[in-house]
């Protein structure tokens, strides 16, 4: 297959990321290649070795996935083309014949520990936890005999010759992880009416109300922010950039003008893409912020300049 027909993902085989990727219809016609890290998956796209990469970006329990947020903010520019929402529940995977009393050491991705902590306290109070690079990698370590159990997706069990000793483990109900399909920057697809726009912006200088001033660029245009997170820039204590998701598409006048406002005020703005929302919920458009009303206001201004208002 050509690189364009290849998708990379956070591996190894059996991760929740692979499960999310396989929900995409086009995955059936792509070569799916596991990578050792988020950075490696994205670098394959940057280097032209793959047409896209699916990586986790946000979890409903733990928040943003910092490795992905930082790669999109500071690495060579890429663009988000779609998102996938995957409900998350864990299974305790063990080697055949293992009982609950045999489980003294367990492993999994650090994000998994947050979601199974209460279950462990009740069911495995004396078990020792050690983090793995991914949940599937934890399963591999159990297969190799280095741990007694791993918290991973139940679907990973046959991949590594393990058995699920307990299933449907989750401390938080309705836990969900959001994944994004990322590719090289290209012309935007047309809006669907249920879209999301992602961007990163850097403050020009730190002063009282600096962040509020920038958020008002969204507020006064009726653009709802669905997520905002600060990330250190690495340039010293107190130096941050802000990653945001907003309702709407860049071609929506309210969204485009909000980002133009940020561009005027910020040291830098990185556009990360406008793409369909996985939940297909249409953006809420308040009175005075529709495209028709923006166009009417522009027409009024032109008539005023001509003395016809």
Every domain of the chain with CATH number 3.40.190.10 lies at 1-88+174-186, 90-169
- The phi, psi pair for 44, rounded to 5°, reads -65, -35
What span, in angstroms and rounded, lies between the C-alpha atoms of 188 and 198?
A: 13
What span, in angstroms and rounded, lies between the C-alpha atoms of 87 and 61?
A: 11
Splitting the chain (309 residues) into consecutive groups of 10 residues, what average pLDDT does each group show?
87 93 94 95 97 95 91 97 95 96 95 91 95 92 97 95 95 91 96 97 88 94 95 86 97 97 95 97 91 92 90
For the chain, the maximum distance between any two Cα atoms, rounded to a whole number of angstroms, is 87
The reported pLDDT for the residue numbered 309 is: 73
Residue 106: strand pairing partners: 129, 149
Q: Is the pTM of this model over 0.75?
A: yes
* Fold designation for 90-169: D-Maltodextrin-Binding Protein; domain 2 (3.40.190)
The reported pLDDT for the residue numbered 54 is: 97
Q: What is the pLDDT of residues 134-169, one digit of tens each?
A: 899 999 999 999 999 999 999 999 999 999 999 999
Write the class of the CATH domain 1-88+174-186.
alpha beta
Every domain of the chain with CATH number 3.30.70.260 lies at 188-309
Q: Answer whether 135's CB lies under 8 Å from 150's CB.
A: yes
CATH of domain 188-309: 3.30.70.260
The reported pLDDT for the residue numbered 284 is: 87
Around Cβ 150, how many Cβ atoms within 10 Å?
A: 31
The reported pLDDT for the residue numbered 1 is: 64
The reported pLDDT for the residue numbered 114 is: 87
Q: What is the pLDDT of residues 261-288, one digit of tens each?
A: 999 999 999 999 999 999 999 988 989 9
């Amino acid at each position: 297959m050509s690189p364009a027909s290849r998708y990379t993902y956070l591996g190894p085989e059996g991760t929740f990321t692979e499960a999310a990727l396989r929900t995409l219809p086009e995955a059936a016609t792509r070569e799916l290649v596991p990578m050792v890290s988020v950075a490696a998956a994205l670098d394959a796209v940057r280097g032209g070795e793959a047409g896209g990469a699916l990586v986790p970006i946000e979890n409903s329990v733990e928040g943003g996935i910092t490795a992905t947020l930082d790669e999109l903010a500071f690495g060579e520019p890429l663009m988000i083309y779609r998102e996938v929402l995957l409900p998350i529940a864990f299974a305790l995977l063990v080697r055949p014949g293992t009982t609950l009393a045999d489980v003294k050491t367990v492993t999994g991705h650090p994000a998994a520990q947050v979601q199974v902590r209460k279950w462990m306290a009740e069911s495995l109070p004396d078990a020792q936890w050690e983090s793995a690079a991914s949940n599937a990698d934890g399963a591999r370590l159990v297969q190799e005999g280095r741990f007694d159990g791993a918290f991973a997706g139940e679907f990973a069990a046959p991949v590594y010759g393990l058995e699920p000793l307990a299933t449907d483990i989750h401390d938080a109900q309705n836990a969900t992880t959001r994944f994004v399909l990322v590719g090289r920057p290209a012309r935007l697809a047309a809006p669907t009416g249920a879209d999301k726009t992602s961007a990163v912006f850097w403050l020009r200088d730190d002063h009282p109300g600096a962040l509020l001033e920038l958020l008002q660029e969204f507020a006064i245009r009726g653009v709802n922010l669905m997520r905002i997170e600060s990330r250190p820039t690495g340039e010293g204590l107190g130096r941050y950039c802000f990653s945001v998701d907003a309702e709407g598409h860049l071609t929506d006048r309210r969204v485009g003008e909000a980002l133009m406002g940020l561009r005027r005020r910020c040291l830098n703005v990185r556009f990360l893409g406008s793409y369909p929302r996985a939940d297909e919920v249409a953006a809420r458009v308040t009175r005075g912020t529709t495209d028709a009303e923006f166009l009417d206001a522009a027409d009024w201004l032109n008539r005023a300049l001509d003395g016809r208002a």
